Amino acid sequence: MTKVFYDKDINKAALEGMKITIVGYGSQGHAHAQNLRDSGYEVTIGLRPGKSEDKAMEDSFAVKSVAEAVSEADVTMVLLPDENQPKVYEESIKEYMKPGSALAFAHGFNIHFNQVVPREDVDVFLVAPKGPGHLVRRTYEESAGVPALYGVFQNVSGEAGDLAMAYAAGIGAARAGVLETSFQEETETDLFGEQAVLCGGLTSLVKAGFETLTDAGYQPEVAYFECLHEMKLIVDLMYEGGMENMRHSISDTAQWGDFVSGPRVINDETKSRMKDILEEIQNGKFAQGWILENQAGRPRYNAINNNEYNHPITKVGQDLRDLMPFVKQPAADGKKGGKV
Ligand code: NDP
Ligand code: MG
Ligand code: MG
């Protein structure tokens, strides 16, 4: 089995006394910054003026321009949206990093697809939490953590691996488990997971189920509970104890239906399309499309986002959740809450 590192396995001295700059204060940024500070590190935030800046100052961080914060850092963690990283890197990071310092990422996309070509005199590593930023913070406060992958792209100091692991421990990930990866593996598996299973696969599955029931004349409210709301209850059981735990909890009728009908929905044909998706991730076609979409001002992204928001499941969900105050209300404007 792959080695999983926990707090006791990690050389924390690698990061001791180092100045850490977090560039960006969004989903991941606020979590890394607050967790590292609570773990005893000196943290500065690099930002442009705006909402995030106000938030970081409210949270009592020293906030500087990206260039200034980077110029003082021993470790610069880039937690900007992936699409903005190449430009900010060229303009405000590249020339400002101290020789021998470390440049870090939480996702390998830009390094792996050559959108950021790092200077040769710095360490380059990644620490990628396998969960949304808000959980990275919440679990840390609960003395737990979100597992993370770490990987090294450039090892000038000879210590980049230890540094990455110590950083992962600093954000609480070593309480849950830290695994070694490469930028390539992290990037390709992350993109595949979110496209085929976690986000794309899941939303398409939920919508297809909801539409099948409502097209057949069943009430949308019932279809919503059945295909979306209950999803969390089932997933929680899998999260806690795997599929066997979930199957142990459901009725035998449900389990029999799982066995005979599940493979009719997700079958070899689906799997062969998953392989196509993986291939397009591996050969760079997906990345190229997404980079071009951003350069064009996101016409398709915005159009699809709008259509999706207008799906009947949105309205029925909003009405039902209004009546369930115990269900936390995220931003209901089609914008992301937590991200993966
Ligand atoms: P967010 O969109 O939540 O936050 C981005 C931050 O960057 C905001 O504070 C934003 O500030 C700031 N920012 C954007 N553009 C600039 C700019 N030009 N100059 C200075 N600051 C800027 O990003 P995420 O936290 O989601 O993603 C960060 C990284 O973490 C990405 O590489 C992502 O792939 C990775 N990741 C994300 C996960 C997640 O759960 N979200 C999970 C694992 C990895 P402003 O308010 O000014 O716009
Ligand atoms: Mg992910
Ligand atoms: Mg991702």
Pocket test for ligand 1, best of 65, 79, 290, 335 (most atoms within 8 A of CB): 79
Q: Does domain 4-181 have CATH number 3.40.50.12780?
A: no
Average pLDDT over residues 321-328: 89
What digits encode the pLDDT tens for the residues 94-127? 999 999 999 999 999 999 999 999 999 999 999 9
Residue 273 vs residue 337, higher pLDDT: 273
Distance 335 CA to ligand 1 centre (A): 14
- Which ligand number lies closest to the CA of residue 82? 1
Shortest-distance Cα residue to atom 26 of ligand 1: 27
Could you report the per-residue pLDDT of 135-152, keeping only the tens digit for each? Answer: 999 999 999 999 999 999
32 is catalytic: no
Q: Annotate 232-248 with b (16+ C-beta within 10 A) or e (fewer).
A: eeeeebeeeeeeeebbe
160 lines ligand 1 (CB under 6 A): no
**So what's the pLDDT on residue 339?**
55
Ligand 1 near 181 CB (within 6 A):
no
pLDDT digits (tens, 9 = 90+) for 61-94: 999 999 999 999 999 999 999 999 999 999 999 9
- For residues 238 and 233, what is the distance between their CA atoms, to the nearest angstrom? 9
Q: How confident is the model over 216-236, as pLDDT tens digits?
A: 999 999 999 999 999 999 999
Atom number of ligand 1 nearest to Cα 134: 40
pLDDT, position 1: 85
* pLDDT at residue 62, as a whole number: 98
Mean pLDDT of the chain: 96
Q: Which of 30, 32, 107, 112 is catalytic?
A: 107
Confidence of residue 132 (pLDDT cuts 50, 70, 90): very high
Q: Whose CA is nearest to atom 12 of ligand 1?
A: 24
| Rounded distance from Cα 134 to ligand 2 centre (Å) | 13
| C-alpha count within 13 angstroms, C-beta hemisphere, residue 199 | 13
**Rounded Cα gap, residues 335 and 305, in angstroms:** 9
| pLDDT for 8 beyond 60 | yes
Closest CA to 189 of 77, 264, 58, 278: 278
Residue nearest ligand 1's atom 23 by CA: 81
Query: 255-310, pLDDT tens digit by residue?
Result: 999 999 999 999 999 999 999 999 999 999 999 999 999 999 999 999 999 999 99
ipTM for the complex? 0.98
Residue 332: per-residue pLDDT: 42
Please, where in the chain does CATH 3.40.50.720 lie? 4-181
